[in-house]
């Protein structure tokens, strides 16, 4: 019988109100039930927020270096449990073990980076305009944050949000994706074991409409950090705006790899295979458009089709698997819909485009490549979130940059070239939050900012130092030790 998992509210593992639950199954094997999980509702969210407010009052008084030590211990525990976590994450969401190991390592890196920030949390200081007066700025904990995370990086992405939020002295109420609740339970268990006060972190599993919506709307929440689709993110922004909450959004992408005629084609080939079909194309930074200079188009397409057709699909826990399943039935049906759209639009299907034989027990789909794609086609404009690559042909760098920028999104981008002037022109002109030179569109590092422009985000960044600005309030302090009334902008100083 499958194990039953619960919410974490007020320091206890508790069932959802009314006992509602749902099944979670392995996307590579429908018959493998991972467990049943609490299907939370508004009542569960209400209790979690009330407890988090108590947790905030306690945790916010702990010195930041001490908070960092708890996060350092969380990183140590994840290091010890890395294989166990990776295996469970692959079973839960499908990507191969080599990728889930990287997912855990990213969370470990983020834990250690956050721990170091506990001894800094740098702010600003400046000289006063008046004599015998000092001015400086402090970072202060802001309150209780709602954390809403996706399934494709079930530990890494939550770590980008939860570790900085906790390091800054906040409490969090976390609603993870409904497809990856097991990973969330493990993450919370690690936090509590590491010494984070139980009421500083709350976990409510379940569905967006029943648990996510009331969390976002609750007036006691200081702010919301969300990663997911642009459509959902914009709705969250509207709710937060109406209530005066801060909100950080990391949303969709339609990322392009531009390959010029002077590029190392073998390097570019390896990059697009990893960027387009790693995580089965289910990354916000996945390479979904390949923009090729006319002179190397046919050669690189030939190499790409040959290599993509040989990628090994299967259960991500098997040693030779290179591409796992899609996360669920809806995801595969969405991919199939876009493959039909691409064909109807007149693009040429060069590889894939079907369910593989012999893998009927999971949500598998072959790596798919379209050529003859034009910039206005839906498969070149809309986020598919699956193993579908659209190849576009251009005649120059200027035309290539125009194609790269010709979408509503602006998350990640890539250019392959040996010409430094071309590389820097691309860096300057590409409308994206991230640009790689001679690397694929995926591969973020924990100590650099992550996020995008246009319909990808609302200006905030995760990772690196900017995220600590989102999770803190700024307090300006003035200390007048002159012993007399001094009036800024009115009294002036003159030499005696």
Q: Which residues contact 337 (CB under 8 A, 6 or more apart)?
A: none
Nearest to 391 by CA among 375, 405, 367, 408: 375
List phi, psi (to 5°) of 397: -65, -45
How many whole angstroms separate alpha carbon 15 and alpha carbon 40?
8
How distant is the alpha carbon of residue 34 from its chain centre?
24
Exactly one of 106, 117, 210, 250 is catalytic; which is it?
Answer: 250
Contact at 8 Å (CB) between 43 and 139? no
Rg, Å, the chain Cα set: 24
Nearest to 367 by CA among 442, 443, 288, 298: 288
Coil, helix or strand for 391?
strand
Q: How far apart are CA 456 and CA 230, in angstroms?
A: 7
How far is the first Cα of the chain from the last one, in angstroms, to the nearest whole number? Answer: 86
- Stretch (H or E) spanning 426: helix 420-429
Placement of tokens 């990776």 in the chain:
86
Residue 409 bridge partners (DSSP)? 454
Strand order in the sheet with 133-141: 125-127, 133-141, 472-480
CA distance linking residue 16 with residue 1, whole number of Å = 20
Q: Please state whether 54 falls in left (phi above 0), alpha (psi between -120 and 50) or beta.
A: alpha
240 is catalytic: no
Beta bridge partners of 416: 259
CA distance 423 to 222: 41
Told to judge if 234 belongs to the known catalytic residues of this protein, a careful annotator would answer: no
Q: Which 8-state DSSP code applies to residue 245?
A: -
Out of 92, 117, 210, 284, the active site residue is 284
Q: Where are the alpha helices (DSSP H) in 123-229?
A: 156-167, 181-194, 213-217
List residues with catalytic annotation.
250, 284
């Amino acid at each position: 019988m499958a194990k039953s998992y619960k919410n974490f509210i007020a320091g206890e593992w508790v069932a959802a109100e009314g006992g509602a639950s749902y099944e979670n199954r392995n996307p590579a094997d429908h018959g493998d039930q991972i467990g049943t999980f609490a299907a939370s509702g508004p009542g569960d969210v209400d209790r979690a927020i009330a407890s988090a407010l108590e947790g905030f009052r306690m945790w916010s008084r702990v010195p930041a270096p001490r908070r960092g030590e708890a996060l350092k211990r969380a990183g140590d525990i994840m290091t010890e449990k890395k294989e166990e976590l990776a295996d469970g994450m692959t079973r839960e969401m499908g990507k191969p073990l080599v990728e889930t190991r990287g997912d855990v390592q990213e969370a470990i890196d983020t834990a250690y980076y956050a721990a170091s920030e506990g001894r800094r949390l740098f702010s600003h200081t400046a000289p006063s305009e008046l004599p015998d007066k000092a001015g400086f700025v402090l970072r202060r904990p802001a309150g209780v944050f709602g954390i809403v995370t996706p399934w494709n990086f079930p530990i890494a992405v939550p770590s980008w949000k939860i570790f900085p939020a906790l390091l800054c002295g906040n409490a969090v109420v976390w609603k993870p994706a409904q497809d990856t609740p097991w990973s969330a339970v493990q993450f919370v268990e690690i936090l509590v074991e590491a010494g984070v006060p139980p009421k500083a972190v709350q976990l409510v599993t379940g569905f967006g409409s029943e648990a996510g919506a009331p969390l976002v709307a609750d007036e006691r929440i200081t702010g919301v950090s969300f990663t997911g689709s642009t459509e959902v993110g914009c709705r969250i922004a509207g709710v937060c705006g109406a209530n005066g909450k801060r909100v950080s959004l990391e949303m969709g992408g339609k990322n392009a790899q531009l390959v010029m005629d002077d590029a190392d084609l073998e390097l570019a080939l390896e990059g697009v295979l990893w960027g387009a079909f790693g995580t089965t194309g289910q990354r916000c930074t996945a390479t979904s458009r390949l923009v090729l200079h006319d002179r190397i188009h046919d050669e690189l397409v030939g190499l790409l089709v040959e290599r993509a057709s040989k990628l090994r699909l299967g259960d991500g826990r098997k040693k030779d698997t290179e591409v796992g399943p899609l996360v669920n039935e809806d995801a595969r049906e969405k991919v199939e819909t876009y493959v039909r759209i691409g064909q109807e639009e007149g693009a040429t299907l060069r590889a894939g485009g079907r369910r593989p034989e012999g893998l009927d027990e999971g949500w598998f789909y072959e790596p798919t490549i379209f050529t003859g794609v034009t910039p206005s086609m839906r498969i070149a404009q809309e986020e598919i979130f699956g193993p579908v690559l659209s190849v576009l042909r251009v005649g120059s760098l200027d035309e290539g940059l125009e194609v790269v920028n010709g979408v509503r999104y602006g998350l990640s981008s890539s250019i392959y070239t040996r010409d430094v002037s071309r590389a820097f022109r691309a860096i300057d002109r590409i409308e994206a939050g991230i640009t790689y030179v001679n690397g694929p569109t995926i591969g973020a590092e924990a100590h650099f900012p992550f996020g995008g422009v246009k319909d990808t985000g609302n200006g905030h960044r995760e990772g690196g130092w900017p995220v600590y600005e989102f999770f803190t309030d700024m307090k300006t302090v003035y200390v007048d030790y002159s012993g007399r009334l001094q009036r800024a902008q009115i009294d002036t100083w003159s030499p005696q």
